[in-house]
Structure 1
Amino acid sequence: MRRSYMLSSSILLSAILSFSVFPTNVLAAQSFTTNATVNLQQGPIPNDPNMIRDPYDPDLPYPGDINDPGNDGTGSVGPLTLDYVSNLRFGTHELKQGGLTATAKNTHAMVQITDSRANGNGWTLQLRPDSLVGEQTGASLNNGYLYLGTEAIRKPSSNVSAPPVSKTLRIPIGSYENIVVAPQNTGLSTWTIGLNQDSNSPTQLVLNDTANAVADHYVGSLSWSLTNAPS
């Protein structure tokens, strides 16, 4: 009887051990790894200019600016383009001693950039305001700066990219400054950079000294530059 008991106990113990180990082996055997794949290739280089968009709502087409008539965009095509830049109009002002601060009249002043590249290398937008020269007298105004004011950086609703960032807003006449920079993996697809939209921080031309200025219609070039990497 004792031998039989001991044997029975051994069998029961073996059964318990086998039962407790077996499910673990089954679970391990049922674990697998599969793959998810996608094939990407560089898209074709655009051969038509990008649509110019409304800087207040980039899902809509550009409605035009009554203070910048005839400006239909740059017509640029390619993987990274400066699609639109505004001419800034500062109106008519009385010639006085001392300086002058003139606010832009534009209702839809803006810059539009499209980055169709797939590499996410980023980009930099620079601006240099040149001296203002009188059309009749040739007199030059170069002591001052252009203040862009608060920039409204927006994108169409279909754009999922992270935004570029605003940099320098105060640009001395005759100097290049970085005004908007897209760090790596940001600023993809189309972006509008609206100017003169905030009445508390508008776009302004500041002339520090007009004591020797003469009455004339002054024109100064705005040189916009888009480079294909952040700086």
Structure 2
Amino acid sequence: MKLTKIMTSTVLLATAVSFSTVANAADGGTYQSKGSVEFVPNNTVTPPTDPENPGKEVTPTNPDGTDPDPGTAGPLSIDYASSLSFGSNKITNKDAVYFAEPQKLKDGTVRANYVQVTDTRGNNGGWTLTVKQEGQLKNETTTNKELTGSVLSLTGGAAVSNTTNVVAPTVSDVILDSAGAASEVMSAKVGQGALTWLNVFGTLEDTQVEGETVKKNKAITLSIPGTTPKDAVKYTTNLTWTLSDVPSK
């Protein structure tokens, strides 16, 4: 009986080993499939966003309450640039510096003035944004047609975005040349400045004007000599913003 038990155990063990070998040989193996996604440059117009909450779409207005022109279309675009107003001021024979009024939004809120650029080319090629003043502030309908010697400056810029893991473009202070020379205001090297970036000029500050406290942007100034004759009219000029695909060095 003892011998029989040992032989039985041996037979069962051999049977188990044989079954395991058959099961392994029946495995289905492995196979790999793929997942992919492709991106192409975006040619649509990118709407303006909030300087204080980049990525949130807003609707800016011009200083006179009219709607601004739409931004440029294409994968490298100027989405928006603030028009600047320095308000209504009393005529004086003293040198004076005037501060820009805030950027107004349709919902009644105000922000610092800004310019917005988008790069969705997808090549990280870099770019350069310039601005130039198209002549001195003028009014052709009056006696003293030009504010001779006045100087418009944009300073205190900061590059802001809701983009992550992208190197920010560089911003520069600008003293505009009324003769029409272009000045670099924001630029990106190769590998920088992808997606949407705003150059926000300064911050808004409470300022006393004629005994009233109002919000002004002291980073954007208009300096006018006291010796410059001024008539009781509105003087205007145009600012031309140009975005090129030339990266900064």
In the alignment, residue 156 of structure 2 is paired with which amino acid? T
What is the TM-score with the length of structure 1 in the denominator?
0.73
The CA deviation at 1:71 is 3.4
In the alignment, residue 219 of structure 1 is paired with which amino acid? T
**SS of the residue aligned with 1:202?**
strand
Q: RMSD of the alignment, in Å?
A: 2.6
Q: 1:212 aligns with which of 218, 221, 229?
A: 229
Spell out the pairing of 1:192-231 with structure 2 (5 A cutoff).
Answer: 192-197=198-203, 199=205, 201-231=218-248
What is the TM-score with the length of structure 2 in the denominator?
0.68
Is 1:71–1:86's contact at 8 Å kept on the other side of the alignment?
Answer: no
The CA deviation at 1:73 is 5.1
Matched, 1:132 2:130: no
Partner of 2:65: 69
Q: 2:170 aligns with which of 142, 165, 173?
A: 165
* Greater per-residue strand proportion: 2
Partner of 2:82: 86
Report sequence identity in percent.
Answer: 25
Is 1:142–1:173's contact at 8 Å kept on the other side of the alignment?
Answer: no
The CA deviation at 1:59 is 2.8
Work out the CA distance in 1 between the residues paired with 2:226 and 2:178: 13
Work out the CA distance in 2 between the residues paired with 1:191 and 1:146: 23
Partner of 1:176: 182
The CA deviation at 1:70 is 3.3
Partner of 1:29: none
In the alignment, residue 167 of structure 2 is paired with which amino acid? A
Work out the CA distance in 1 between the residues paired with 2:128 and 2:57: 24
Which structure 2 segments of 5+ residues have no match? 1-33, 104-110, 206-216
Partner of 1:58: 54
Which structure 1 segments of 5+ residues have no match? 1-36
Work out the CA distance in 2 between the residues paired with 1:40 and 1:182: 27
Partner of 1:117: 121
